[in-house]
Structure 1
């Protein structure tokens, strides 16, 4: 009986991992006969799982949607990914699901094996999410407690692919994982450059995570704000500070490409960067609300020039586009 139960769980996991399976494929994965697969499918149906079958040579099995949510079977990497995403949701990256995410995360952590629970908690302790226009969030009072619970971290060696494609070896003291826009970033102290650096996680190839232990340093600002400023403006040749006459929520969609700081119920400050002044000017023009470029002067001048070109393209007299003289 235990062997049959284990096989049913394995079968259920396979059916959840892909939309369609043929009988021979399932039989090969489970190392049983096609007849045993048919019997196990009937057992799952008796337990309430809607397993649909299609007859014929091209037929197979598919797990359908039932009246109740069936248990999900996750492998190790899937469980860690779900835990991290739930922590990101609990941090306010998506408004309105914070409490729901926390409840789901508590249920998941309760059933995780000890080795996975430790791994998930270690990642959660250094992960920071940054909701639009806000500083990074954690559970109230949890950051210091989580870090005390973990052993002193170790330096790590990694190969990093820069924006231009060049790959170099870096030795770092990891500090935080920051979720910004649609990517994860590592904030770390670069031991060779003796300065803080931000690394895109998808460009990292970890070589050795087990260097000497170190005492974590304090970054120059909260991790989320530092990373957000770095990936949206500091890393670019041209930067702009724009006063927007609208609430931060009105320009929240730009949070992945700029930092948005609320300065009042109907105003905010947007900081953005670009390798091209024209691209920066177009981005400012696409805000869709009244704004003023405060610094530096180059984006404001280029904004007038772009507006003038667009006005001429639309047939308007030169200089009429923005009620100001044309730019260079």
Structure 2
């Protein structure tokens, strides 16, 4: 009986496959990148390395052809979309591995930066906020001052070494949240993680966490973040427990660990202290409110932001 390999070879010759295969192989070996790599690594390859590694060489050639005619990351036709091949010799044979291409690297960087800015209860639009898009009114010095101070904070923020933050207050819709979102995105460029929290909703969730038994876990997640941003502080219905055991615990830790906190509010320092002195059960607790303010006022720069209500346009 004729050996199967002999029969297969004869069949391939009769069908013209062998000639076609040889043409493909020759095209691969004539490729500039392939040819250059083989010449550079010739001494490290066994005699049969090219024949054994022809599949890898063909994939290498075709993948780089795709890269040379790059249709964009979303339409990448490579076996591993967004990745470029690299040949390397191993034990005398040809091996191949993939590395992310520049477009994939940029996409990964953007994804990583987005992961550094974790926004809770804040609109998706703020994830694209930037200083460049902030509106400046030549007749309103408060906006220019706030922007300049925010830029300075972003450039110099050093969590763990400098715990100074910002306290930004003003009327509704003047752009307070947008400005701190721009800070968060700029910090991400410096690989500094921030957490932008809508304070009233966070405090409401903390009340629910009591029944779930997850109070400590949620407080830890907020208090340990390098830069915390509490948006719309003072808009919540305050209770003794939220003020003392939630907000107080968070701010005490951040003060001790020198972690900067940024606040936005409709109220200035004095008005916020008044808000904190009352609870939903009635009564006035000025000393407890002052204790909280002693963890806010000395560790923030107060900024007033005025202007038109941009939510009404």
TM-score range, shorter chain: under 0.3
Q: Which structure is higher in RCO with an 8 Å CA cutoff and minimum separation 6?
A: 2
Structure with the larger helix share:
2
Larger CA Rg, structure 1 vs 2: 2
TM-score using structure 2 length: 0.24
TM-score using structure 1 length: 0.23
Structure with the larger strand share:
1
